[in-house]
Structure 1
Amino acid sequence: MKRRLVLSGLCLAAAVAAPTVLAQPAANAVNNVVSFAASASVEVPHDFLSLTLNTTREAGDAAAVQKALQQAVEAALAVARPAAQPGAMEVRTGNFSIYPRHASQGRISGWQGTAEIVLEGTDVPRITQAAARIQTLSVARVSQGLSRQARDKHEAAVQAQAVAQYRAKAQELAKLFGFGGYELREVNVSTQEPGLTPVPLMMRAKADVMTAEAAPLPVEAGKALVTVTVSGSVALKP
């Protein structure tokens, strides 16, 4: 007697003696499965500030431009570093580049370069006051966002809300379809993390930027939206 094996889903059906073999339903097949998603969001104020200060120098040769940029950056760091404090205000260098300027027929007519330092952290007054004392660079970009601590805190709270909404929606769907409950099949949790948001910068007069008496840059905290989405599928149960 010849035997055949029929594969159905994840189960292997038993062979039969009849010439025609009929596939049997998988033992673990699950019916009445629905897929859906639920989200929760919260709007929270920014608590993280990032200021980028830069300067541009020009000269007839690259070495002169590099030296001028280095002097400007070193002077700025000498002012900013004493005010640095972990978490409250971090100080780091940013972009440093030198490139030629071309005249007619592609001839190099001179050199130009830019250099940056970045002040960032959660202590906004400390950052803006330090930036105001720097005379060799001026503020080029301002960005706001959430610190890691604030993001984790709000994400945990919103995640709990999203899960509760998902469970409530699952129970509601079960009831609407005439079932008594549900069983979780697959669940995915995703978070939309807000990044740094650029803030429009009102440029001051150059003379004001270059004076030691320049007032701290006025910064008004914006808001960020933290969103958590729970998606997946459930099997409806009697």
Structure 2
Amino acid sequence: MKSSRLKPALLCCLLAGAAPLAAAEGIQLNLSANAQRDIANDQITATLYVQQSNSQAATLADRLNRITASGLAQGRAYNHVELSSGSYSTWPSYDKNGKISGWQGRSEILLKSKDFTQAAELIAKLQQTMLLEGVQYGVSDQARRRAEQDMIPEAIANLKGQAEVAARALGKNVVSIQQLDIGQQSHGFRPPVMMMKAAMAGAEANVSQPDLQPGQSQLQLQVSGKVELK
């Protein structure tokens, strides 16, 4: 029977070849970092609505349509404000016996603008016949893209800094970044306070303009990568 043991000379050669291979192997780290900016909100969105009730569905619909159409028409005078129709619905009201006793309806107008002066003026006009459901502030697509371009180099520099700290702790050197993923921005909104100014002289109705204070949003850009150390 042939022996299955390796000859001493052959075994020495295999061990000698394995040592340089193990020494040549590096360490790969999966790291992530981010950069953040406080950006002034430069865009406003608002929802205004009218809600009424009537015993006749057709009469109710006519009133909702007239008020909504009038509001949209008023918006055409403000070239820096975008108005569009929002949700529209009608539903029955029931008496104690479960029979339809009338109808209710609601119609919305959506407002969007980067001009806070025009937006405040138009909101005040629309509030003569409609109710304001809510106002939201945010960062426009253009401002977001500019902020992202500024944050990408900073986020990558932060990732490299983490790699260098890890390399020193392990007694290694940073060889290269093998893979880099740039994530989407996350948003941390800082709600502003909306106050009301005193009514302006000569105003068409007793609705004062809202004092819009847009505040800021915090944008954050994430990057992750695979770093090789040797």
TM-score (normalised: structure 2): 0.79
Q: Which amino acid aligns with 2:83?
A: V
The answer to whether the 8 A contact 1:36-1:233 is kept is yes
> Relative to structure 1, is the Cα distance of residues 195 and 99 closer, same or farther in structure 2, using a 3 angstrom cutoff?
farther
CA distance in 1, matches of 2:129, 2:116: 21
Secondary structure at the aligned position of 1:104 is classed as coil
Distance 1:79 1:122, change over 3 A: same
The question of whether the paired residues in 2 share the 8 Å contact of 1:141 and 1:199 is answered with no
What is the aligned counterpart of 1:122 among 114, 128, 134?
A: 114
Equivalent of 1:45 in 31, 35, 40: 40
How many residue pairs align between the two structures?
Answer: 203
8 Å CA contact retained: 2:192, 2:213: no
Give 1 or 2: higher helix fraction. 2
Give the structure-1-normalised TM-score.
Answer: 0.76
Residue 30 of structure 1 and its aligned partner are, at CA, apart by 5.9
Which runs of 5 or more residues in structure 2 are unaligned?
A: 1-17, 198-202
Change over 3 Å in CA distance of 1:94–1:126 after alignment to 2: same
Please state how far the C-alpha of 1:202 moved relative to its aligned partner: 7.1
Q: Distance in 2 between matches of 1:213 and 1:133?
A: 10
Identity of aligned residues (%): 27
Alignment counterpart, residue 147 of structure 1, candidates 140, 144, 147: 140
8 Å contact kept, 2:177–2:228 = yes
- Does residue 107 of structure 2 align to residue 112 of structure 1? no
RMSD: 2.7
Query: 2:86 — aligned with what?
Result: 94
Q: Counterpart in 2 of 1:222?
A: 215
Of 78, 85, 102, the residue aligned with 1:83 is 78
Q: Is the 8 A contact 2:183 2:221 kept in 1?
A: yes
Is 1:55–1:115's contact at 8 Å kept on the other side of the alignment? Answer: yes
Gaps of 5+ in 1: 1-24, 205-209
- Between the aligned partners of 2:26 and 2:62, the Cα distance in structure 1 is 73
Alpha-carbon separation, structure 2, partners of 1:101 and 1:227: 48
